[in-house]
Amino acid sequence: MKTLENYVEKDKLNIEKVINDYSNFLYKFVKSNSYNLNKEDIEEIVSESFFVLWKNYKKMNLSDNIGNYLCGVSRNILLKKLRKNKIFNKNVNIEDYQNVLDCKKDVEDMFYEQERISFMENIVLGLDSESREIFILYYYEQRKVKEISKILNISEAKVKTRLHRIRKKLRKELKEGGYGYGK
């Protein structure tokens, strides 16, 4: 996991480097939580998240995780935008949402999936720090095995072995927890 320290050079934030490293990750994060906002709105949220980081980086600790910070900021901006667009409006006409109500199974599936993801996050948090870092770099930051080995200064074989063990542990714990596991 990269910290703020990785991006501060001569007491200035290298925002271009942050954008290069995190724009794809942040775009996917916002899109997956966006409740069908259009592409322009998602890009606006991502851009604003980088601006907030740039504006506030001096208030942060050098050991703060950039990815976590950007996700938190983008989530807050997204919620603000959704409220502004009245997606979370409490005074809604029930007839406007009849199709949604008719899709009870879809809602149940969504809650089941959120519960499964939360269960998986707890498993990942229980990993040792190096395994957790490998998992995050590979699955969340979508880094290649070769990149991970360079970042963590370990062999590619060790990265592959750790990924195999992590998947095996996830599969076992998901099964024991009553959740299905694909392939």
pTM over 0.75: no
Q: What is the C-alpha separation between 77 and 73, in angstroms, rounded? A: 6
What is the C-alpha to C-alpha distance for residues 79 and 2, in angstroms, rounded to an integer?
26
| CATH, domain 99-177, list 1.10.10.10, 3.30.70.100, 3.10.580.10, 3.90.1150.10 | 1.10.10.10
Tens-binned pLDDT, residue by residue, of the chain (183 aa): 578 788 888 888 888 888 888 888 888 888 877 766 788 888 898 899 889 888 888 888 888 888 888 888 888 888 787 777 655 444 444 444 444 444 444 555 666 667 777 777 788 888 888 888 898 888 877 889 999 999 899 999 999 999 999 889 888 887 887 766 554
What is the dotted CATH code of the domain comprising 1-90?
A: 1.10.1740
Residues contacting 105, CB < 8 A, separation 6+: none
For 97-106, letters b (16+ CB in 10 Å) and e give eeeeeeeeee
What stretch of H or E contains 12? strand 12-13
